[in-house]
Amino acid sequence: MSGGSENGRDLEELMDAILADSGSSDEVSLAQIMQAVGTRAYGPLLLVPGLVALAPTGAVPGMSIVTGTIIFVVAIQLLFGRNEPWIPKRALEFSFSRDTLLSALERGRPYARRIDNFLKPSFTQVTDFPATRIIAIVAIALALSMFPLALVPFAVAIPSSAIVLFALGLTARDGRLIIAGFILAALALALILYTV
Sign of CA dihedral 171, 93, 133, 194: positive
How far apart CA 176 and CA 186 sit, in angstroms, is 16
Does the N-terminal peptide bond of residue 130 adopt cis geometry, omega within 30 degrees of 0?
Answer: yes
Q: Over 60: is that where the pLDDT of 4 sits? A: no
Q: Shortest CA distance to 50 belongs to which of 40, 63, 61?
A: 63
Q: What pLDDT does residue 11 have?
A: 74
Q: Please check the confidence at residue 107 and state whether its pLDDT lies above 60.
A: yes
pLDDT at 54 over 60: yes
CA dihedral 102, 88, 90, 20 (to 10 degrees): 30
H or E element in which residue 85 lies: none
For the stretch 58-105, pLDDT in tens is: 566 677 888 899 899 999 999 988 877 777 788 778 787 888 778 878
| Residues linked to residue 122 through DSSP beta bridges, in sequence order | 174
In terms of pLDDT, which residue wins out, 42 or 78? 78
What is the reported pLDDT for 143?
93
According to the model, what pLDDT value does residue 39 have?
A: 59
Q: How far apart are CA 53 and CA 4, in angstroms?
A: 25
- Cα angle 58, 63, 65 (rounded to 5 degrees) comes to 120
Confidence of residue 134 (pLDDT cuts 50, 70, 90): very high
- Average predicted confidence (pLDDT) for the chain: 80
Residue 137 is predicted with a pLDDT of 95
